[in-house]
Structure 1
Amino acid sequence: MNRRRRATAVICFLSIGMAGCAISPERASPAPEGFFSAWAAPQGRLAEQAPNLNDSTVRVVVRPTIDGTALRIKLENTIAKTPVTFAAVYVGKLDRDATLANGTNKPLTFGGQSKVTLAPGAGIYSDVIDFPVKAFQRLAVSMDVISATEVSTHALGLASNYYAAGHRAQSESGDGFTLLPTRAQNAVSFPVYWVAALDVKSNATAGTIVALGDSITDGRCSTTDADGNVVPDLYQRWTDILAERLASMPKSYAKAVVNSGIAGNRVLEEAVTGPPALARFDRDVLDRAGITHIILFEGTNDIHRGSTAAELIEGTRQLIDRAHARGVKIIGATMIPRGQPEVTAREGFDETKERYRLEFNEWVRKQAKFDSIIDFEAEMLGGGTSAQGAQIMKREYSCDFVHPNGAGHRALGESIDLQLFQ
């Protein structure tokens, strides 16, 4: 299909006397032995309301899903067309707000260097440091920014992140820090700046599960309260529920859960929110440390934007084949209803789109070469049929009849058979 764009990957390099990264053909370095991706925020677009961050500090909060004894973080400048330079980067345990727990803030290096410049489109992993990590205990990555014209982000972060004037990454104090602008994609989203992944050395898990999806997986509406306010720091995505359930399982299970959803994402075509699944599959999924399983929950935006079931099936088949070529199990999730009660609703499916959705789900269940199936559609059905002929999700699980609310996310997360990850 000539509309699709293929993946362009980034490889970072360190030359004598200077640190930096450059775009090159996709060929990611293997993760160190015993490391598993424990958190991620795949980048898809530039920050829309970023303050002037030259000579500032940005403090980003991350939440690992497994225990461990050492870590590394990945910085990316994936979307920007201009370089960004950091004077220093630190990681510490978060206490409250922007304040770190006393004595926990540790410096990170990149090829032995504190200073690092990311070229446009580039990304780099820090050197490994010993650091005690507890599942679900939040960490803060603090970056002293020398210069940044653009900010590459994960738009729908749903976590409070901070910035301050001057270089304060080494400081554990939250004094002088304020919240980063909270809006992205024309909604309150709490975006994540530059930090793309956290990998943890662990003997508590047998693998990493990567959830690849769109705004549903990314958590749109998962923390929206009864008054329509988006509340940060609640961690109520279906992937969060899954990670919490897996935490008590034996270490023979894959227990590290990484959310690689991007709001607005499609399988086939690029959107304003970022590259399609076909283009970002290596960087955001297959190259995650310790990956053993993928949960693929995509397609509603493809059909909404005009793709047919046949086109979506072909794109999905490519993702399945690429996962299997890397020896990774891939689990398919059925597409949930998208009918709208209101006749004029723009986001709802009509009769043709509903037919494509049902055709796709039938293929997922009976013909696709997935290793297993998760029937999310069955969990969400029950809201009747719209005037346009599309099924509507169960009312008590709906935020806007496109995205599940917090209760809906919990239902999805609790519906998954944990034996799939043994």
Structure 2
Amino acid sequence: MISALSNIDQDQLKKVSTKMLAITRCVFLQKNDAQEMREFNSNHFSWWYSSKFDKYSFDLSIIVCKLLGLAWGRDYEIVNKTIEDSLYESAQNRHLFYTDDIFLKQKKTLFDCKAVEDATKFGYYLAVGLIIKMKESLLDWCVLYTAPRISGESFSIASENLHIINRYDKTKWDSLLNKGFRVDFIDPESMNYINGEPSKLSRYNYDYIFVCEEKGTLQGSNFTASVKLRMLFSVVTAISEEHPRIRCMEEPHSLSLQLAHSSNSSHSITTRVIGKLYPYFGEQLIITQQRVQKVKLWYEQLRKLSKEEQDKISKCAHFINKGMMSSEIEAFIHFFVSLDALFGKQGEVEKSIKIGVSKLPKEGGWDKKIKALFKLRSDLVHGGSRFIEEWDGYLNYKCEHKSEPRQDVESLAYLALAKWPSIALSLK
């Protein structure tokens, strides 16, 4: 029990305890016709959940996801079910409840049947039971994704549990097997199964296999892998300084393969929709050894920053990736939102973005451009223009800066992402 609770935030655990206590007061042993209720039946017990139960369970699932680092938007239903399962298991524990009172429905609520006199301790025991059960449901996964027209040598980013593997690098691929992931079921050169049958990724054009080691639920692990990869693709593109790049009409890859760790009870390989994470560009992007070192340095610098700074930078990278996957107005807005995510402060968005941009390298005339780009952003967001060329300042911008605002905001976003970790460190 102690090892299962290691590294658990005690303040968050108290919140779980408080919510679990509240939940037991919302579990009625008999139906109250005056309230809206839903029934729970099992081989041992039956009871009724009041409408407040769902509200408390919802709040509790948010706390638990935060406590365990889960993807709440993807894992809510799993956490919610685990709350009910944990409550049911606890109700059978004679050290926690007078089980006869529950079975014979001799009390009003589940809370009234508690066998622990001290309510605080009782709530703590329930919270510990929930956390342990939730942790038991978190498994180790390996999520595989391929992307077109990006290639180079294999490398890893240890802090992110990310591996970028050249399809012909058998040594690097086998290193995953040494970690316990069942990649021996997949041929990395073709993404076919080892018996020759094609997987859903076999039809894709690729040179790199992007591998994320994750711990969590099946669905949540796929989601957190997508977040990591969106960030990686933004960083790699920003550091390569090969932008803007021309996109093709071919459809980006949207599927992943999820492999279980050998320690998992299930050894299945699951195909999942992970989303379109990297565009189909017209030319190949080669990740040279020099670029690999720059990417690694970028992540090293990121980890030296405060949690708040890291969050801002990761969100900046996320919206840059959204911009990469969009076009025209949508792309412009996503790239601008990335600047807001990095530099923006509530109540003084324009001022804070301009201050942030002023700290970037001076080449490019960004101090002047950002003023005009902010006006275009406001015009598009508030419906003043239907497309960029309709903006009143469009021709003046092209004439003065000899460039396109759509391409400039993209270049500025990439520049900010590439340079900010080192700049932020220098400002500490």
Q: TM-score normalised to the size of structure 2?
A: 0.30
Q: Which structure's residues are more often strand, by fraction? A: 1
Higher relative CO (CA 8 A, sep ≥ 6), structure 1 or 2?
1
Greater radius of gyration (CA): 2
Q: TM-score normalised to the size of structure 1?
A: 0.30
Q: Which structure's residues are more often helix, by fraction? A: 2
